[in-house]
């Protein structure tokens, strides 16, 4: 059960922004307001982890035995372009920049480069707090959640993003 609890705790942390599943006996700490898309993402991650655990679906690339399935699943996000991949000229992409692993980290430099998503059909920014990107022909949708003044993705925090049309030679 310990492995299952680790996976569930990681899903809650990543998708629901709940730091722990431990009961802390405080309304403010034990009850959370959640968006339906966060609940949907958490349920999808739990389903995917269960499917992999049942042996019906191999682990996504980059998964390791000591890493919760949900963390490795980020690499399997359909709109995520693997680093170094040539982008399709004339297509729209979104790239995250100025990454850090701790949102409180004082930045002495520009941080690390983040993921590239695409090709996209549209980008939607709602009430300055959520970012939704859609793959071409509406095949896939990814929500990027805001954390303070940054975007949170796969346990990292990014200060900048760029929506751009790829030119010949551009890489993720």
In this structure, the answer to whether residues 53 and 91 fall within a common structural domain is no
Q: How far apart are CA 43 and CA 11, in angstroms?
A: 9
In this structure, the answer to whether residues 86 and 150 fall within a common structural domain is yes
Question: Domain residues for 100?
Answer: 80-165
In this structure, the answer to whether residues 112 and 136 fall within a common structural domain is yes
Instruction: State which of 38, 55, 74 marks the end of a domain.
Output: 74
In this structure, the answer to whether residues 48 and 86 fall within a common structural domain is no
pLDDT at 116: 95
Tokens for 81, please give them.
């372009």
pLDDT at 99: 92
Average pLDDT per consecutive 10 residues, the chain (172 residues; last block may be shorter): 78 84 84 80 76 47 41 59 92 93 84 92 83 81 85 90 94 90
Instruction: State which of 74, 107, 124 marks the end of a domain.
Output: 74
Tokens for 145, please give them.
């959640």
Total count of domains within the chain: 2
In this structure, the answer to whether residues 62 and 35 fall within a common structural domain is yes
In a 13 Å sphere around the CA of 51, the CA atoms on its Cβ side amount to 13
Instruction: State which of 34, 52, 74 marks the end of a domain.
Output: 74
pLDDT at 56: 39
The predicted model scores a pTM of 0.56
In this structure, the answer to whether residues 50 and 87 fall within a common structural domain is no
Contacts of 101 (CB under 8 A, 6+ apart): 155, 156, 157
């Amino acid at each position: 059960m310990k492995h299952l609890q680790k996976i569930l705790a990681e899903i809650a942390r990543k998708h629901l922004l709940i730091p722990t599943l431990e009961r802390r006996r405080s309304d403010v700490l034990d009850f959370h307001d959640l968006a339906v898309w966060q609940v949907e993402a958490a349920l999808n991650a739990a389903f995917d982890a269960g499917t992999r655990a049942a042996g019906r679906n191999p682990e996504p690339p980059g998964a390791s035995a000591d890493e919760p399935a949900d963390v490795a699943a980020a690499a399997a996000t359909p709109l995520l372009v693997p680093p170094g991949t040539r982008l399709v000229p004339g297509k729209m992409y979104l790239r995250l920049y100025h990454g850090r692993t701790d949102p409180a980290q004082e930045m002495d430099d520009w941080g690390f480069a983040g993921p590239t998503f695409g090709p996209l059909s549209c980008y939607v920014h709602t009430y300055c707090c959520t970012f939704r990107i859609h793959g071409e022909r509406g095949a896939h949708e990814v929500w990027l959640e805001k954390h303070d003044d940054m975007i949170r993705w796969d346990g990292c925090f990014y200060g900048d993003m760029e929506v751009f049309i790829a030119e010949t030679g551009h890489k993720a």
